[in-house]
Amino acid sequence: MVGGGPAGLMAAEQLSAAGVSVHLFDAMPSVGRKFLLAGKGGMNLSHSEGAEAFAGRYGARRAAIAPLLQDFGAGELRDWAKGLGIETFVGSSGRVFPADMKAAPLLRAWLQRLRHPVAGGPGVQFHMRHRCTGWNEAGALRFDAPQGPVAVQARATVLALGGGSWSRLGSDGAWQSWLAARGVPLAPLKPSNCGFDVAGREGEGWTAHFRERFAGQPFKSVAIRRRDAQGQAWQRKGEFVATATGVEGSLVYACSAALRDAIESGGSAGFELDLLPDRSPEQVLAELRHPRGARSLSSHLKSRLGLDGIKMAILHELLPKEALAQPEALAAAIKGLPVRLRAPRPIDEAISSAGGVPFEALDEQLMLKALPGVFCAGEMLDWEAPTGGYLLTACFASGVRAGRGVLQRLR
């Protein structure tokens, strides 16, 4: 087992529970580092929506991910956590969380069970600070370890090495070179659930004034809408954050894959920002036409529409002065302000990544066709999903499938 994230640990559990001797290697000093960081603001394990809608969150990879979820989906994940003594609950948004909202107690209980299985057996043996560098000429896995180079011969191997985001936590994508050298086809790694740099009114990002005053502040109770290349409309309400270079946050992440692909194919992309999604265009225009007397435009917008702060600032940032002076143009902008994006943020800043080992290079048990006996799981596979528990659930499910695949091969 190479990789100590959720997918690797789950694969290890399938094997250990069956009495198989498991050695888990990881480059970091401890396992589950990205898992712990992801749970820092509340451990979102999964989502409670129906199976059809859940599977639909995986977009073009729905057909590949759906069978994994049938074996180990949100319900099985909650039962598994309960077996570790961790109760879960469904939040108001439908997301599933541990009762205490924390990742650390779950990980501690899990590692305890892996090291000391209830049914007895050898338990999983952990080898930390062992960085995998591929295979040697004899077919043994090579590791750079504190005591020097190590070679390990295994009957079967599960690779769960993560994607390309958050390299400081171990998922640096270095495995691509040595898998490619063994004839494994790979899709380029790309940022997913990521922020973007804006083009700004002059094409050079936010002005210094906006950046200094509003970077880090949220846009709350807004909506984003856009159309894809086929003309399909997409809209969602929520919130996101202005950064020093652009935008990021849950509402942006929800359409980040489409925005990234549009930039890749066309050089730029964008969305319309509805600053007042709970008001109709007619209501907004009526308020703007209301006489404002001696009041400034800012005072008028605040008193009539509740627009101030960063919402008012982005109108000044992206609209020409003449549009601000015209009620019809200003109303249209409030209900659909064009925000242009010029590039996704670097992959190492992204929450997750797309690309990696395509499912076409694997059999149904997630074993590499080019390397019999070598299985892949987790984020190193070529799939992506929005935040909301979908990423973790698929990582767990792929670990279950790979672990069971190893068992089937060994038997």
Position 50 scores a pLDDT of 95
Dihedrals phi, psi of 94, to nearest 5 degrees: 90, -5
The C-alpha angle with vertex 8 and arms to 156 and 385, in degrees rounded to 5, equals 125
Other Cβ atoms within 10 Å of 122 Cβ, number: 13
**pLDDT (tens digit per residue) in 169-188:** 888 999 999 999 999 999 99
- The stretch 44-56 carries a mean pLDDT of 95
- Is the pLDDT at 120 greater than 80, yes or no? no
Q: Which residue is associated with the tokens 């509003």?
A: 214
Residues 6+ apart with CB under 8 A from 151: 136, 138, 140, 141, 142, 143
- Is the pLDDT at 203 greater than 80, yes or no? no
Q: Please state, for a pLDDT cut of 90, what percent of the chain lies above it.
A: 86
Position 283 scores a pLDDT of 95
Model confidence pTM above 0.95:
no
Q: Is 24 helix (H, G, I), strand (E, B) or coil?
A: strand
Q: At what angle do helices 62-71 and 390-410 cross, to 10 degrees?
A: 70
Integer Cα distance of 378 and 61 in angstroms? 14
Position 166 scores a pLDDT of 85
- Is the pLDDT at 227 greater than 90, yes or no? no
Position 169 scores a pLDDT of 86
Instruction: Return the structure tokens found at 267.
Output: 């050089």
Position 13 scores a pLDDT of 96
- The stretch 236-254 carries a mean pLDDT of 95
Contact 56, 49 (CB under 8 A): no
Report the relative pairing of strands 352-356 and 187-192 from DSSP bridges. antiparallel
- Is the pLDDT at 225 greater than 80, yes or no? yes
DSSP calls for 178-244:
HHHTTT---EEEEEES--EEE--TTSSSS-HHHHHHHTT-EEEEEEEEEE-TT--EEEEEEEEEE-S
DSSP state of 386: -
Per-residue b or e along 76-90, where b marks 16 or more CB atoms closer than 10 Å to that residue's CB: bbbebbeeeebebee
Q: What is the CA radius of gyration of the chain?
A: 24
Contact 377, 353 (CB under 8 A): no
Average pLDDT along the chain: 94
Q: Which CATH superfamily is domain 6-192+351-410 in?
A: FAD/NAD(P)-binding domain (3.50.50.60)
Domain ranges of the chain: 6-192+351-410, 196-344
Confidence of residue 228 (pLDDT cuts 50, 70, 90): confident
Integer Cα distance of 303 and 281 in angstroms? 17
Q: Residue 55 half-sphere exposure, CB side, CA atoms within 13 Å?
A: 14
Q: Which residue is associated with the tokens 């997918």?
A: 7
Confidence of residue 373 (pLDDT cuts 50, 70, 90): very high
- The stretch 55-80 carries a mean pLDDT of 96
Kindly report which listed range (78-92, 107-121, 151-165, 249-263) carries the lowest average pLDDT score: 107-121
Instruction: Return the structure tokens found at 193.
Output: 């659930």
Integer Cα distance of 32 and 8 in angstroms? 9
258: enclosing H helix or E strand: helix 256-266
**pLDDT (tens digit per residue) in 254-272:** 999 999 999 999 888 999 9
Q: Is 165 exposed, middle or buried (0-12, 13-18, 19+ CB in 10 A)?
A: buried
For residue 372, give the nearest of 349, 350, 405, 394 by alpha carbon.
405
